A and B are shown apart, each in its own frame.
Chain A
Amino acid sequence: MDLDDTPEQAAHRTRVRAWLEEHKGEAPILSGEGAITDEAEIVSARRAWQGKLAEAGLAGVTWPKEYGGQGLGPIEQVVCNQEIAKAGVPGILDAIGVGMLGPTLIAHGSEEQKGRYLGPMLHGDEVWCQLFSEPAAGSDLAAVQTRARRQEDGSWRLSGQKVWTTNAQFSSYGLLLARTDPEQHKHKGLTMFVLPMDAPGVTVRGLRQISGEAEFNEVFLDDVELDADAVVGGVGNGWGTALTTLMFERVTIGLGGEGLGFNSLRFTKAIASDEHGRQDPEVRKELGEIVSELLAVRFTGYRTLTALQKGQIPGPEAGLAKVTIVNGAIKAGDLIADVLGPDALDEDSEWAYMISFLPGLKSAGGTEEILRNTIGERVLGLPPEPRLDKGIPFSELRSKEGAAA
């Protein structure tokens, strides 16, 4: 049992560190003195920086070499992430594309799709977004209603609405899950598409949240036309393709839990800055409990990495780490506000945004309740909840739901 680099990993780390040392002056400054504030400027600077990271082999480390990656393991990617964090420079802009959607295309895309999309995605020339969730299909993702109808010439017409779409406002493409056959059972009539975000009929609208900022978007599809070759992984196979993306999402979380910025040292600094609070046994008890759990998640990440290194795929239990991180950060924000008082909620406080952001994050990637159901069933082997949607066509589901109510 050890946390040490192998000689190869150590050499890799040295190379990465040397590159960052030489080039960190080229990284965009996003906070503090000299920070860029204009939204569009930030995006273009971060895209350019992603291109440099990719060129140097610090992004897409696990991607095969033929698609511009390094063909290395998850540990080497983590080494890059660690060194990037240590250098105090931003990581890649399109973590969703490179971390989740690219690997999905690599697994399920056609040769033409891989050749066309992967390079520009990796280099930040074309940013991607994930068009899965809908207003009535989040945790129950297979309930998506966005409808894709095949035309006589083989092309498709899409109508519907997506939501919680990060980066949609500056994305070139989206990976979109749509229903192609409502007469099939809900998991079977789904198909994955590549959607050019500038296609006629696509409207992107920012979705403001508690903080007042729009971290996500809504994406409206109004009779959008797509060519036959926009299908990824075959018609009717959308659910299997989506599961691949969700698996990579878990890997991403497992590899970078602390990358969310919910760092126990940062929380502790805030508490310790208050002379009285830091000596209050009640505050210390709360802080100790929060920090213990967040530390645990760091080592759960290392366990996940060990499993990945051995070729095992992390299961839904990796989702428990997300529950711990989010709830730990919620408790930390609450404690910090208790100790610092209403100042912590001021707009210019570094905590106000986090405190506002976390209630929504509880449902990101599936609500905590559904995650606990999945883990109870898949990991503990508990019997499933009774459900109405088994073995009937999607088109009949609504009337059955109505009858049961």
Chain B
Amino acid sequence: MNLALSDEQVFLREAARGALSRFKTLEAAREALDGEDKALPELWPTACEAGWPGLLIDEAHGGAGLDAFDAMLVLGECGRVLAPVALLGHLPATAILGASPAGAGLLEPLATGARRAAYLPAMPPNDLVDGWCVDPKHGSARPAAPQAKDDGKGGLLVSGTLAFVPDAPGADVLVGVALLDTPQGGTPLDGVQAGGRPVGVAIESSASGVSIEDVHRYDATRSLGHVTLSDAPATLLDTPVEALAGAWHLTQALIAAESLGSVETALEMSVAYAKERHTFGRAIGSYQAVKHALTEVLRQLENGRSLLYYAGWSRHGAPAEFPLAASAARSVAGRALDQGARTMISVHGGIGATWEHDAPLYFRRAQLSRRLVGGTGAATDRVAGELIAQAEAA
């Protein structure tokens, strides 16, 4: 048994920290909120230099051939400094393409970062929702995944709307799941819904029928887009349905890693302040109320970290458990992020709630992130569903 970082993983993490430290990401985040569109640093070249776009692409296609846990380490570093690197959209997309011989041809420029991909998140069915569905623009009802039909020329035409797609603006290729209207029986994951059987699709964002609306939101460091597809021409991928579901779970794990990176910073800043700020003649960190609030953040952070190891290990070590592991990581990390951000504000007192302070940036990250890609709630429900299934099987 070995549940520790390898030397290479420590190096990967340190290198990421070093590379991102060259940018004033927090100042930029605040300016961007003030409407300075150009304030956010252009980090994709840095990502390319470091080889991050090809992290999950095998070496034969120009990538690094690393695993999800390595990607989580990089995302954690991005989360620490709220760095807007478009990996959350890119990496799951490359995972779908990498699992499909038909998609392999697209991989090389994606591995170098010459082209950028964005994943179109579609949630695989669960206990309460029968079919594949996507995030809604408003409210809590989840629309079905996009529909695909044969274009009669060996390709597909895809139609549908996906809201709040991470890193969609500026992406060269969109990769996701569509429901192909050729009825075909199969396993529960395969075509449980009337809409058709789930298939992988790759869509050039420059193609006709593709529109991506840039969505500026509560957290300016988070690039999001509403994607509308109207008979958009798509390449049919032969990605196995497990890998299509896997991309969703991988995204959950990456968001968890990124969130816990933010919690690390929130906790470090809060602890530093609790040591230096005095009231009634004592450092505020010596008050039990403050100390306990901070150890609660540490507790949730450590729980989340342990689940990142679980997710990182299980993706290949126990693939049947990956949905559970990734969902549990997302669930715990989401709560840790909210707790960490709120504690950071309360430990700093009133100043922590002011525009010039960094705490509000982490707070904004916490509030928006927890609602993306199914939200923390869908992940938590999947944990319950997976355990109920395990309990029945036992």
Interface residues of chain A, those whose CB is within 8 Å of chain B, are 1-5, 9, 75, 264-265, 268-269, 271-272, 278-279, 281, 283-285, 287-289, 291-293, 295-300, 302-303, 305-307, 309-310, 317, 320, 323-324, 369, 372-373, 375-377, 379-386
Contact = CB atoms under 8 A, between A and B. Distances in A.
B307 interface: yes
Interface stretch (B1-9, B201-209, B217-225, B355-363): B1-9
Interface of B: 1-6, 69, 127-128, 267, 271, 274-275, 282-283, 285-286, 288, 290-292, 294-296, 298-299, 302-304, 306-307, 309-310, 312-313, 317, 324-325, 327-328, 331-332, 335, 377, 379-385, 387-388, 390-392, 394
Contacts of A382: 271, 274-275, 283, 285-286, 290-291, 294
A227 to B, nearest CB: 44
A357 to B, nearest CB: 22
Given A75-B1, A309-B2, 9 more contacts: A272-B388, A284-B380, A284-B385, A285-B380, A293-B303, A295-B325, A302-B309, A324-B303, A376-B295
A323 B299 CA distance: 9
Contacts of B1: 2-5, 9, 75, 302, 305-306, 309
Contacts of A298: 306, 310
A291 B292 contact: no
A332 to B, nearest CB: 11
A305 B2 CA distance: 8
A380 B271 contact: yes
Contacts of A3: 1, 3, 313, 317
Given A2-B2, A265-B394, A288 B312 contact: no
A287 B391 CA distance: 13
Contact of A384 (B127, B286, B299, B309): B286
B390 A380 contact: no
Contacts of B292: 369, 372-373, 376
Grouping DSSP codes into helix (H, G, I), strand (E, B) and loop, the B interface class, with mixed when no group exceeds half, is: helix
Interface centre among B1, B291, B304, B324 (most CB of A within 10 A): B1
B317 A288 contact: no
A323 to B, nearest CB: 6
A225 to B, nearest CB: 43
B377 A1 contact: no
B391 A269 contact: yes
A383 B287 CA distance: 9
11 contacts: A1-B3, A1-B4, A271-B388, A272-B392, A284-B127, A285-B380, A293-B332, A296-B306, A373-B291, A382-B290, A383-B275
A292 B313 contact: no
Contacts of A264: 387
Contacts of A373: 288, 291-292
Nearest to B274: A382
A397 B382 CA distance: 55
B302 A317 contact: yes
Contacts, number: 185
Nearest to B311: A299
Given A285-B381, A288-B331, A297 B3 contact: no
Contacts of A2: 1-2, 313, 317
Nearest to B303: A296
A292 B307 contact: yes
B298 A379 contact: yes
B69 A1 contact: yes
Most chain B CB within 10 A, of A264, A291, A309, A384, is at A291
Contact of A265 (B4, B274, B304, B391): B391
Given A1-B309, A305-B1, A295 B275 contact: no
Given A1-B6, A265-B390, A320 B298 contact: yes
B248 to A, nearest CB: 16
A4 B388 CA distance: 26
A377 B287 CA distance: 11
A300 B4 CA distance: 11
Top 9 nearest A-B pairs by Cβ distance? A296-B303, A376-B291, A288-B380, A299-B306, A382-B285, A288-B383, A284-B384, A288-B384, A292-B328
Nearest to B304: A296
A27 B393 CA distance: 27
Contacts of B282: 383, 386
A372 B385 CA distance: 33
A324 B328 contact: no
B308 to A, nearest CB: 9
Contacts of B390: 265, 268
B125 to A, nearest CB: 15
Nearest to A295: B328
B12 to A, nearest CB: 13
B302 A320 contact: yes
A13 B63 CA distance: 39
B271 A1 contact: no
A306 B387 contact: no
Contact of B328 (A283, A291, A383, A386): A291
B387 A383 contact: no
A339 to B, nearest CB: 12
Contact of A295 (B302, B310, B380, B381): B310
Contact of B294 (A300, A369, A376): A376
A383 B286 contact: yes
Contacts of A297: 303, 306
Contact of A291 (B283, B335, B383): B383
B331 A292 contact: yes
A279 B382 CA distance: 12
